[in-house]
Amino acid sequence: MRQGKSLPRLVMFGDPARGSVAEAIQDFSQFLKDKAKVVAVCDISECRAEILREIDFAVVLGGDGSIISAARTLSEARVPVIGVNLGKLGFLAEFSAAEFKKWYNGIISGKAPVEKRMILSCRVSDKSKGSPQRFHSKAVNDVYITAGPPYHVIELNISVDGEHVASCVGDGLIVSTPTGSTAYNLSAGGPILAGAMEAMVITPICPHSLSFRPIVIGAANVVQISATRLNEGTTVSVDGQVSTGLSLRDVVTVAKEKCSFLIVDNPARTRWDTLATKLGWAKKPKYESE
């Protein structure tokens, strides 16, 4: 936040083609009048880098997918993200429209906690020595490899820091951040990690082995994945939003990205509250007496 009495500079991201987002943009533009300088209202793909360097906060209107998409870009500029949930779940989009207005003064004055989340770098290159990478993307949630059509099982070789760890025969593999531990990783049986941790989870997808369980490794480790058996449609996906095909010549390298992304937490609830209310975590059984 800039020093002095100048108004905070904000950018609002959202898809105006969605009716709820268009309404929210209009509502927030009116609410923020005389409270902030709204530098731009745009889709994240249309926002110029020079704009991001000049703002204090990014208000993302939508759901978790919108925040994840924005975070890959905003991480470079170290702009804190305020997520306003207009979607279905809103695990990362922690504020409702009413809560954003209620906590606005606390957010811009620094009273709302800002959490730093690690992100991953995914690179795909040919195994041939000296071959340039053909794909690179940041990952906020996860990097995963899925079997794809014709949906036969695939076999992936996993190495960590150059040491062979295991071969995974099954439907694929997930490498997740702590933020993404409550996403695909959780559905595949992986553990939940605290969002501010720095670690990675390696989780198999439907492995043909009862003994292949998810493992948690350090953020400084480098994971490399290559294949000995694939399908024509086998794919490497990043956050379920960016993807590329995978061949037997490829090696996938996943490591911690140098930059992180910053997210403004809702002061009204803890992460544990969010787990319980959004995902039903640790919910008691329904006893007869109740």
* CB 124, CB 252: distance < 8 Å: yes
- Catalytic site residue 64? yes
CA–CA dist 281, 98 (Å, integer): 25
* CB 283, CB 276: distance < 8 Å: yes
Instruction: Point out the catalytic residue in the list 56, 64, 239, 250.
Output: 64
Q: Ramachandran region of residue 151, left (φ > 0), alpha (ψ -120 to 50) or beta?
A: left
Q: What is the CA radius of gyration of the chain?
A: 21
Q: List, in order, residues 6 or more apart from 273 with CB less than 8 Å away.
A: none
Q: List, in order, residues 6 or more apart from 284 with CB less than 8 Å away.
A: none
* CB 200, CB 221: distance < 8 Å: yes
* CB 234, CB 245: distance < 8 Å: yes
- Evaluated on CA atoms 218, 178, 68, 244, the torsion sign reads positive
* CB 261, CB 191: distance < 8 Å: no
> What are the CA-CA distances from residue 41 to residues 25, 27, 201, 269 (Å)?
8, 13, 36, 28
Instruction: Tell me whether strands 9-13 and 57-62 are parallel, antiparallel or unpaired.
Output: parallel
Q: Which helix (H) or strand (E) holds 259?
A: strand 250-264
Give me the active site residues, please.
Answer: 64
